[in-house]
Amino acid sequence: MVDLAQPIGAPLPNWRARARPPRTPLHGRFCRVEPLEPARHADDLFAANQLDQAGHNFTYLLQEPFQTLETYRAWLGQVAPADDPLFHAIVDATTGKALGLATFMRIDPVHGVIEVGNINYSPLLQRTAAATEAMFLMMWRVFEELGYRRYEWKCDSLNAPSRAAALRLGFQYEGLFRQAVVYKQRNRDTTWFSIIDAEWPRLKQAYGHWLAPTNFDAQGRQIRALGSFIEAARAL
């Protein structure tokens, strides 16, 4: 019997486990986010990653830079069939070329929690509208389509670009998990961020304003930064 004198969490009498993410594409104005298919995506992804000649994109990933197309295609063939993590290719809407990867991972339908991870944006995708839109499309699937309660972003605490990206995209900092992981024979303290369902309507509004054609000039450059829209939406 529950002791009503003790504090307890908010009741969720209508909560039901959610569906797992489907293997269907997400279409935006600047990109598509579609389930990874090595036969279609490997060549484009490998070529785009080769532009990162120093291999900096792999510093905080579990993998090392791939030296040949064959080894990269073989790795994609191993990870593509998995349901968790569920790998997606990010495809430029204009060129039709795959320029990056991202996954849904640690998928928990019972509690309505998904993490976005394994993000590897090639130099051709970094700092583009497509890069941001891809994250919005995945966020849209989690909250709008599937009705999950929580969306997580975690990264090595030393990965300054990833921390900055999480905040720019609207994630809230939650804390530091010390000595959480050992990878590549080194320690990782993990920084946690999240978005919850109560925050989604305002974030969706902010992204809608940012993605509007009127927010981009003739050269495709943003007029107002995403952060300003998010800040304004939170102030409402």
Q: Enumerate residues 6+ apart whose C-beta is below 8 A from 117.
A: 85, 102, 103, 105, 106, 153, 154
Is 151 among the domain residues?
A: yes
Q: Give the model confidence (pLDDT) of 156-196 as tens digits.
A: 999 999 999 999 999 999 999 999 999 999 999 999 999 99
Question: Which tokens hold the place of 156?
Answer: 């090595």
Place 5 in a pLDDT band, splitting at 50, 70 and 90: confident
Average pLDDT over residues 193-220: 96
The whole-angstrom separation of Cα 222 and Cα 214 is 9
Place 4 in a pLDDT band, splitting at 50, 70 and 90: low
Is 204 among the domain residues?
A: yes
Q: For residue 233, what pLDDT is reported?
A: 87
Is 70 among the domain residues?
A: yes
Q: How many domains does the chain have?
A: 1
Average pLDDT over residues 9-36: 97
Residue 91, strand partner residues: 32, 98
Is the confidence at residue 12, as pLDDT, over 80?
A: yes
Average pLDDT over residues 49-77: 96
Closest CA to 120 of 28, 48, 20: 48
Is 5 among the domain residues?
A: no
Q: Give the model confidence (pLDDT) of 73-120 as tens digits.
A: 999 999 999 999 999 999 999 999 999 999 999 999 999 999 999 999
Is the confidence at residue 70, as pLDDT, over 60?
A: yes
Is 193 among the domain residues?
A: yes
Q: 196, 168 in Cβ contact below 8 A?
A: no
Is the confidence at residue 210, as pLDDT, over 80?
A: yes
Helix (H) or strand (E) run with residue 89 in it: strand 86-92
Place 226 in a pLDDT band, splitting at 50, 70 and 90: very high
CATH value at residue 182: 3.40.630.30
Domain holding 49, by residue range, is: 26-234
Q: Give the model confidence (pLDDT) of 118-150 as tens digits.
A: 999 999 999 999 999 999 999 999 999 999 999
Is 34 among the domain residues?
A: yes
Is 149 among the domain residues?
A: yes
Question: Which tokens hold the place of 151?
Answer: 């969306």
Q: Give the model confidence (pLDDT) of 31-52 as tens digits.
A: 999 999 999 999 999 999 999 9
Is 57 among the domain residues?
A: yes
Task: Report how far apart, in Å, the C-alpha atoms of 203 and of each of 87, 131, 166, 192 are.
Answer: 24, 17, 13, 19
**Model's pTM, two decimal places?**
0.95
**Using H for helix, E for strand and C for coil, what is the string for 97-155?**
CEEEEEEEEEEECCCCEEEEEEEEECCCCCCCHHHHHHHHHHHHHHHHHCCCCEEEEEE
Least confident stretch, 16-20, 185-189, 229-233: 229-233
Q: For residue 6, what pLDDT is reported?
A: 86
For residue 200, the one-letter residue type is W
